[in-house]
Structure 1
Amino acid sequence: MLTVGLTGGIGAGKSEVSRLLVEHGAVLIDADRIAREVVEPGTPGLAAVVEAFGPEVLAADGSLDRPRLGAIVFADPGKRAVLNSIVHPLVGERSRALEAAAPADAVVVHDVPLLTENGLAPLYDLVVVVDAAPATQLDRLTGLRGMSEEDARARMSAQATREQRLEIADIVIENDVPLPELERRVAEVWRELARRARPAR
């Protein structure tokens, strides 16, 4: 088995790269998706969040009111740390269980947006960084996601710098390119990952 940490700045196109890797045969473990699953209604995770932040973080249907919780934790680093102390261990536990269930010769790709910020590179056999110029990221966030330029710049500056991400990269996938070129590059990277996964048999 080969474990791969996949990361990239917001708007760099990491989701597209993870989609292509799955098409090639990668087992994808998506940290963001798991973070949503562990606080679904009826989970111990949601109960712990409500205990920490009060019932006002619940929507009328009993699910987590993400915008309301976001407004609370992004304004207060201490509260953000409390939320992370609840969610991160649950995400880690679920990720390990999914990884353990993968075939012995699998390439397991962990899609982790904050891999650089949280110092997680040592957890993986190698780190793949999807890289795009800040101008490209900004174009995608304002053009494709409809963010205001101010919001897009704020999101970008809240993350690790491009240099910090490139520093931890074992493999870089440049994504300032047309889709056919990205597909070629991902296919090339996949061949290398599959080759490295093989000796573990």
Structure 2
Amino acid sequence: MKIAITGGIGSGKSYVCRLLEARGIRIYDCDSAAKHLMRTSPQIRQQLTALIGPDAYLADGQLNKACVAQFLMASESNKQAINAIVHPAVAEDFTQSGLQWMECAILYESGFDHLVDSVIAVTAPLPVRLERIMQRDHISRQSALAWIHKQWPQHELQQRAQFEIVNDGRPLEPQIEHIINNIIKE
């Protein structure tokens, strides 16, 4: 059985994944994999350079994160064009990894929900999410809200997921234990 963990920015999905990893569960991190593949895949490098231009990569071969981010944020069509390059590579990498668990912030937007059998949504109240984002990224409340609004609404994730972990300050271990026991039964 393949399981995905998703949740909006500031929900605490990475923290939940660390708790699962402490239990010996290996988790494929889609975001890290995408960054790694964008740095190391000659095919992705060629496609991104053709799409964005020669400034997509620095002279030393490193991905020009600022340039790529600026292109990505400029329009929805730019975002879709980058995703059309990166998402298939990440999906293939996950499939070849042999891992059963994945962490994916954009699970439904990427279509990666079709790669898994079950989804766990990590949720948190908006004020908690805002505080986490502002502290972690040292950004304003307005910037944090902008990031939240660029993602799927939390209630949509809750509706589509088979399981939910509410990360609002109460202990997470009992929720994780309950979900793992239910996943094992399936």
Q: Same fold (TM over 0.5)?
A: yes
Matched, 1:176 2:171: no
Q: CA shift at 1:188, angstroms?
A: 3.0
In 2, the alpha carbon distance for the partners of 1:13 and 1:144 equals 12
Q: AA paired with 1:176? A: D
Partner in structure 1 of residue 155 of structure 2 = 163
- One-letter code of the match for 1:174? V
Structure 1 stretch 67-76 or stretch 151-160: which is displaced more?
Answer: 67-76
Matched, 1:190 2:180: yes
Equivalent positions of 1:1-201 (< 5 A) are 2-41=1-40, 43-99=42-98, 102=99, 108-178=100-170, 181-196=171-186
- Secondary structure (helix, strand or coil) at the match of 2:172 reads helix
Q: Deviations over 1:20-73 (max 9, x none)?
A: 112222231111111011121463211221122211121232111111111012
User: Using the alignment, how far apart are the partners of 2:14 and 2:77 within structure 1?
Assistant: 30
Q: Is the CA contact (8 Å cut-off) linking 2:49 and 2:56 kept in structure 1?
A: yes
Aligned-residue identity in percent? 27
> How far apart in 2 are the matches of 1:144 and 1:36?
19
CA RMSD of aligned residues (A): 1.7
Distance 1:63-1:144 versus aligned 2 partners, 3 A rule: closer
> How many residue pairs were aligned?
186
Q: Structure 1 or 2: larger helix share?
A: 2
Superposed CA deviations along residues 65-123 of structure 1, whole A, max 9, x for unmatched, are: 11111101211222222211111111111111012xx4xxxxx2111101133454343
* Regions of 4+ moved over 6 Å: none
**Counterpart contact for 1:8–1:14, Cα < 8 Å:** yes
Q: Which residue of 2 aligns with 1:199?
A: none
Q: Tell me the TM-score normalized by structure 1.
A: 0.85
Gapped runs of 5+ residues in structure 1? 103-107, 197-201
For residue 116 of structure 1, give the secondary structure of its aligned residue in structure 2. helix
